[in-house]
Amino acid sequence: MRESRSQDGTKHKLGQGQGGYKSRKIKKPNRNTGSLNTPNSRFNKKSRKIVPNLLPERTSDGTTSSYRNAYAIIRRRWNIPVERSPTGFQKHHERTAAYLPVFSQQYKQWGYLRHQLSESELPDARRAFDRWYRRLGFVLIEPHRVKGRASWRGEASWILEYPSAPAMCSAWTKLDVDERRRSWPGLMLSAMLTSPERAADVLAATMSPLPPGYAITDVLQFVAQNSARHWPSSHRERAARADEIVHLMEEILVHTPKGHMRPSQLTFGIFAKVLPPSHTKELYDMMKREDLEIHENTALHFASTLSKKLEYKHVALEIILDMARKGANLNEAKFTSVITSLLHSQRQKPTDGTSHDSGASFSKKALEELMEQGLIPNVINLTAFLETLCWDGELDEAIRLALLFSESGAKLDSRTFNTVFKAAKESRDPEKMHQALDVAKAAKAPIVSVLNNALHAVFYSSEVERRETPTPKPEGRQIFEPLLRLYAQRFSLEPLQWLLPKTLPLLLAKSTIQDDCIPEQRTALSVAQAFFKETQVPRLQPDVTTLSIMLRAYILSLHHPYEVVSFYEYFKMKLESDEGQGINYARALVTKHRSLIHDTVVLAMLDHKLSTRQLLHVLGDMLRDNLPAKAAQSEDLHSVEEIPKSVHPAPTLFTLSILISRLLLRKEKMVATQLMDVMREHGIEPNLETWNAMVKGYAVLQDVPQTVSMLQRLEAAGYTPDNNTYKAFGRLKNQAQALKLMDSIIRQNEARLAQEVMY
C-alpha cells in the first residue's frame, strides 16, 4: 500500500477507491478542469489515452461552465456526434466551434426579441426563432448536410426563375398574406443555400409582409459577407452591385419600423469596406438619419473609405475628430492608415470641379486639427501630406516642411525623398532639384536610390522636351551617351554591358557631354553632374532600377528602325538564355518592372513606323508565355511535353491600349478589334483613357457606328465621359448621324427594359 502526505503533513494510505488506482501508476483526471498532467489535456476513459483539451480553460468571468454549456447546446442543436478518439475529438471540436458565431448571434437576438413580445406570443415566436437558427446554421456552416429530402431546400426555386427583384416582388405579392408569412423563412433560407448571389434580390422582393427582424439582420449579414468574398472585378458590375446594396439598405433602414430589428455592426463594417466612397457616404447618411449606433471599429471603416475621395474627406475627418473627442487615442496603430488617407490627395484634374489647391488646403487643415487632438504624425503620415502639397504645386512648401520635420527630430525615409524629388523632376527647375537633394541628405536615403533619381531626372527632361516639340529634332533623342557618362562615374559597367550589344567603352570615348545635349537636357544634366561629382563613394553595383533607366534611354536613342528590331532580338536572346552561373539581368528586369522594357520597345517601333507584323511579333512573345488558363490546357491529354517556363512578361493595359490606338490611326481596324478580344481574354479591363483612345481612333476614321458603339460601351462599363471623350467625338464630321444612332439605341434599350420589368 502506497502512502501520500497532505499539506498539513498527515500521512494517508492510498487504496482502491481512496483517490488512486492500486494497480496502475496513473493519476485520476481532475473532473473540474479535465486536466491530467497538463492543464490543456483530458483523460479518455475508453482508450486510456490523454487527448488535447481544445476547449478554452476559462471565460471572461473566470468560469468554464458557460463555455462548455454552449458547446453542449451546439452539439445537441445541430446533431454533432462525438467520436471517441484523439483525431475524432479534434474534428468534433472544430465542427462545434464553427457554429459558435451562429449560436452567439442567436443568443444576442433572442435577448433583444424576448423584450419586444408579450407572454402569449413568446412560445410560438421561440419555436419559429429556434427553427430559423437551426436551419441557418446548416446553410452557413455545413450546407452539405441539407439533403434533398429537406422540405425547404427547393422552396425558392420558383421565385429564382424571375430575372429581377421587381419581377420577383410582383409574383410574391400575388400570394395570400398568410401563405407569404408562413413560407418566407424556408424560401429565404433556400435562396441563401442554392443561389447566394441573389439573396439580396429575394430579400428586397419579399419584404411584404414584414419578416422577423432577427431574420432580416441575418440575411443582411449573409449578403455582406458574400459580397466581400465575391465582389465583382469589372467597374460596371461593381457599380451595379453597389447600387443594389444601397437600395436594399434604404428599403430596410428607412421603411422598417423603428425597433423592429437590431442591425449587426459587422454588416455595416463590411459594406463600408467594399462599397465605393459615394455609396458609402449614402449608407453613412442613412445610419445618421435613422440614429443608428455606430461602433468605433465600424466608424473607422467608414472613415477609411470616405477618405479616399476628396469630396468626402471632410466627413471622414469629422468621424475621426468625433472619436478623438470621445477619448480615442489617434496614435494607435489602427488610426494610421485612415489618417494617411486623409492627408493624401491624388492629383486633381482641371475638370474635377475642385479648386487647384483644395487638396493641399484640406490636408493642412486636417493635420492641424488632428494634432490639436493629440496626433503625433509619423513618417507615413508626413510623406502623404508632403505628396499632397507636391501634387497641388506647393513644392517649395513641401521642401521647407520636409527639412523642418527633419530638424524637429522626425525620421524621414527614402519614400519621403522620392516623393519630393519626383515633384522637383516634373517642375524641371534646377534650383528645386538641388533643394530636393538636400531632403535626400536629411532623409539619409540610400545613395543608389538618390543617384537613380538624378539619372531619371535627365531622362525625364529629355522625354518631356521631345513630346512638347512639334517636330522633334534628331538630337532630342541623343540622351543615352550623356547618361552613360554619368553612369560610368559611379556604377560598374559590367551589368549594363551584359544587356547591350554595343561596346560601352567605345561610346564613352566619343564627344564631350555638353556637345550631345539640347538646352533642356543640360538644365537637368547640370544638376545631376554636380551631384555625381560631389558624391565620393566607391564604385557601386547598379540595381534593377538603374539598369531600366539606362536601357530605356538606349532604346529610345536608336536612330534606325532595324536597330530597334536588332536590339529586341538581342534582348530576347538574353532573356531566354539559361545562365549557368551569375545573374540574368534581363530576367531580373522583367521580374521587377514587368513589361516596362517591352513597352519601350513597342513605343520605339511605333515611333519608327515599323510594320504591324514586327509589332505583333513582340506582342506574340508576351502572349505566348502568358496564355489564359483555359487556352494553356493541352488538348492532347496524353502529351508529356514539358511546358516551357514563362520568361516574357504579360501584356499590360498600357501595352494593348497604345497598340490599339496606333493601329486605328493606321486604319487597321481588324487587328485592333482582335487586340480588344485579347484584352478581354486576359482579364484586362479598359480604363477611361483606353476607351477615349478607341473613340478617337474610330472617330478619326469617320466610322460612325463603331464610334457610337465605343461610347455606349464606355458608359456601360460605368465610366462618365470627360473632356477628352468629347474632344475625341468631335473628330467625327457627321455628328448628327452619330447622335441619331445613339438616340435610336437608347429607345431600343428603354423598350427592352420596360418589357423585362413587365415580365
**How many whole angstroms separate alpha carbon 523 and alpha carbon 428?**
8
Residues 109 and 84 in one domain: no
Q: Which three cell numbers stand for residue 373?
A: 487632438
Average pLDDT value for residue range 75-94: 79
pLDDT grade, residue 551 (50/70/90)?
very high
Q: Last residue of some domain: 511, 535, 557?
A: 557
Does a structural domain hold residue 755?
A: no
**How many whole angstroms separate alpha carbon 481 and alpha carbon 511?**
9
Q: Which three cell numbers stand for residue 639?
A: 502529351
* Nearest by Cα to 270 from 294, 248, 302, 307: 302
- Structural domain for 66, as ranges: 31-97
Residues 528 and 541 in one domain: yes
Residues 512 and 540 in one domain: yes
Q: Which three cell numbers stand for residue 750?
A: 428603354
| Cβ atoms of 525 and 517 closer than 8 Å | yes
Residues 59 and 38 in one domain: yes
> What percent of the chain has pLDDT above 90?
55
Average pLDDT value for residue range 493-504: 95
What is the Cα 416 distance to its own chain's centre?
Answer: 23
Sign of the alpha-carbon torsion through 508, 511, 512, 514: negative
pLDDT at 509: 86
Residues 53 and 109 in one domain: no
Residue 28 has pLDDT above 80, yes or no: no
Q: Which three cell numbers stand for residue 542?
A: 547598379
Q: How many domains does the chain have?
A: 3
pLDDT at 48: 40
CA angle at residue 204 from 200 to 205, to 5 degrees? Answer: 115
Chain segment 564-588, per-residue pLDDT in tens? 999 999 999 999 987 666 789 999 9
Residue 512 has pLDDT above 90, yes or no: no
Chain segment 118-149, per-residue pLDDT in tens? 889 999 999 999 999 999 999 999 998 887 65
**How many whole angstroms separate alpha carbon 79 and alpha carbon 64?**
22
Residues 35 and 79 in one domain: yes
| Cβ atoms of 335 and 320 closer than 8 Å | yes
Residue 526 has pLDDT above 70, yes or no: yes
**How many whole angstroms separate alpha carbon 698 and alpha carbon 322?**
52
Average pLDDT value for residue range 46-62: 42
Q: Which amino acid is at 181?
A: R
- 213 compared with 61, residue with greater pLDDT: 213
**How many whole angstroms separate alpha carbon 217 and alpha carbon 223?**
10
pLDDT at 752: 59
- Beta-carbon neighbour count of residue 231 at 10 Å? 14
pLDDT at 355: 45
Mean pLDDT of the chain: 84
Does a structural domain hold residue 712?
A: no
**How many whole angstroms separate alpha carbon 101 and alpha carbon 263?**
15
Sequence-ordered alpha helix ranges (H) in 195-312 = 199-205, 213-229, 235-255, 265-274, 277-289, 296-306
Residue 9 has pLDDT above 60, yes or no: no
Residues 548 and 497 in one domain: yes
- 319 compared with 442, residue with greater pLDDT: 319
Chain segment 350-379, per-residue pLDDT in tens? 544 444 447 899 999 999 999 999 999 999
Q: Which three-class secondary structure state does DSSP give residue 230? A: coil
User: Across the strands, what pairs with 52?
Assistant: 41
pLDDT at 35: 37
Residues 59 and 135 in one domain: no
Chain segment 236-256, per-residue pLDDT in tens? 889 899 999 999 999 999 889
Residues 44 and 140 in one domain: no
Residue 471 has pLDDT above 90, yes or no: no
Cα-trace Rg, the chain: 34
**How many whole angstroms separate alpha carbon 728 and alpha carbon 722?**
10
Residues 451 and 541 in one domain: yes
Does a structural domain hold residue 573?
A: no
**How many whole angstroms separate alpha carbon 347 and alpha carbon 169?**
45
Average pLDDT value for residue range 290-303: 96
Chain segment 610-662, per-residue pLDDT in tens? 888 999 999 999 998 887 654 444 444 344 344 456 799 999 999 999 999 88
Residues 450 and 521 in one domain: yes
Q: Which three cell numbers stand for residue 643?
A: 511546358
The secondary element (H helix, E strand) that includes residue 398 is helix 395-407
Half-sphere exposure of 467 (CA within 13 A, CB side): 7
pLDDT at 755: 54
pLDDT grade, residue 759 (50/70/90)?
very low
Does a structural domain hold residue 576?
A: no
Does a structural domain hold residue 478?
A: yes
Average pLDDT value for residue range 86-102: 83
**How many whole angstroms separate alpha carbon 263 and alpha carbon 224?**
12
For residues 137-164, one letter each, b for 16 or more C-beta atoms within 10 angstroms of the residue's C-beta and e for the rest, the string is: bbbbeeeeebeeebebbebbeebbebeb
* Beta strand pairing call for 11-14 and 2-5: antiparallel
Residue 157 has pLDDT above 50, yes or no: yes
Terminal CA-to-CA distance of the chain, rounded, Å? 89
Question: The pTM is what?
Answer: 0.80
Residue 267 has pLDDT above 60, yes or no: yes
Does a structural domain hold residue 568?
A: no
Sequence-ordered alpha helix ranges (H) in 635-668 = 653-665
pLDDT at 459: 95
pLDDT at 545: 97
Lowest-confidence pick of 82-86, 169-173, 362-366, 551-555: 82-86
Q: Last residue of some domain: 541, 557, 573?
A: 557
What torsion do the CA atoms of 418, 420, 373, 287 make, to the nearest 10 degrees?
A: -80
pLDDT at 582: 77
Average pLDDT value for residue range 186-201: 95
Helices (H) and strands (E) in the chain, counts: 36, 4
Residues 496 and 534 in one domain: yes
Lowest-confidence pick of 4-13, 518-527, 731-740: 4-13
Lowest-confidence pick of 118-127, 403-412, 596-605: 403-412
pLDDT grade, residue 503 (50/70/90)?
very high
Q: Last residue of some domain: 511, 539, 557?
A: 557
pLDDT at 473: 53
> What percent of the chain has pLDDT above 70?
82
Average pLDDT value for residue range 389-404: 93
- 517 compared with 218, residue with greater pLDDT: 218
Does a structural domain hold residue 494?
A: yes
Residue 477 has pLDDT above 50, yes or no: yes
